[in-house]
Structure 1
Amino acid sequence: MKTIGNIIWFVLSGVWLGIGYMLAGVVACITIIGIPFGIQAFKLAGYVMWPFGRTLHESPGHRFSKGVMNIVWIIVGGLWLALLHLLFGVLLCLSILGIPFGIKNFSMAKLALFPFDYAVGPVADGTPAEAGPVVALD
């Protein structure tokens, strides 16, 4: 079921969101200071293109440093990416088939604003995997 959901997601909004994150990553990598933000955008692009079957966990690390990185991220491009998620969420919620995908976009808007607070991990049997590998987004 998650493969079908991912394929529908990819066609409806995943490809466009992935392009947006890739563009943000390229723009962020123009300067040396922006490279960590560009790498973060590339990691997020993979998640927003194929999200089902994975879940978000709290990222390890110091809260202050993650907070500073998130503030800079919001200024660099996170706000525009969150607005893109909200736009796709509203458009997808206009049809009954698109409502679950619109809700997923609304939840990803939080990720677009605060990416250094989360890590992506697998989902096992519909519940977050506690012992599975987690890929940190920072």
Structure 2
Amino acid sequence: MRAIGNFLWFILGGFLMGLAWWLVGVLALLTIVGIPWARAAFVIGQFSFLPFGKEAISRRELHQADDIGTGALGLIGNVIWFVCAGVWLAIGHVASAIACFITIIGIPFALQHLKLAGLALAPIGKTIVTCEVAAAARAANATATAAALRNGN
């Protein structure tokens, strides 16, 4: 089912939004200081080409530890991203979602566009994993949180 969804997604608009992400990545690369944002744009652009069966989650949630992208520098990076490119990519995904919502068969694609629009607003500190890995990370976090609550931490 994922293969069919990804094929239809790619043909019916995912290709264009993936190219938009890659265009933003190339523009960020040209500035040299935008290389960290370019890397994120290329990764999410690849995700935007074939999104079904994958999910974007916080690296903090995946590794149960902070890193440079999930802390204060990640917040600053996301603010800069939002102002320079995020809002425009989000608008593109929302416009694509509206176009998909018009047809009944396009509703799953519209929902995926809305997820990508949310990701477009703040991609720093996120990683793309399979849905199974995301579920396992959430289960591990729930177990760790429950253990910490039981121990009074």
TM over 0.5: yes
Q: Which has the larger radius of gyration?
A: 2
Secondary structure of 2:130's partner? Answer: strand
- Preserved contact between residue 89 and residue 102 of structure 1 (Cα < 8 Å): yes
- Preserved contact between residue 37 and residue 124 of structure 2 (Cα < 8 Å): no
Runs of 4+ displaced beyond 3 Å? none
Q: Which runs of 5+ in 2 are unaligned?
A: 61-66, 139-153
Correspondence for 2:76: 68
Please identify which structure carries the higher strand content: 1
The number of residue pairs the alignment matches comes to 130
RMSD across aligned positions (CA): 1.8
**Residue 137 of structure 2 corresponds to residue 130 of structure 1:** yes
Correspondence for 2:21: 21
CA–CA separation in structure 1 for the residues paired with 2:56 and 2:32: 28
Correspondence for 1:134: none
CA–CA separation in structure 2 for the residues paired with 1:117 and 1:96: 34
**Which letter maps to 2:30?**
I
**Residue 96 of structure 2 corresponds to residue 88 of structure 1:** yes
Please give the TM-score of this superposition, normalised by the length of structure 1.
Answer: 0.87
Correspondence for 1:37: 37
What is the CA distance between 1:77 and its match in structure 2?
Answer: 0.8
**Residue 97 of structure 2 corresponds to residue 111 of structure 1:** no
| Identical-residue share of aligned pairs (%) | 32
Correspondence for 1:136: none
What is the CA distance between 1:124 and its match in structure 2?
Answer: 3.0
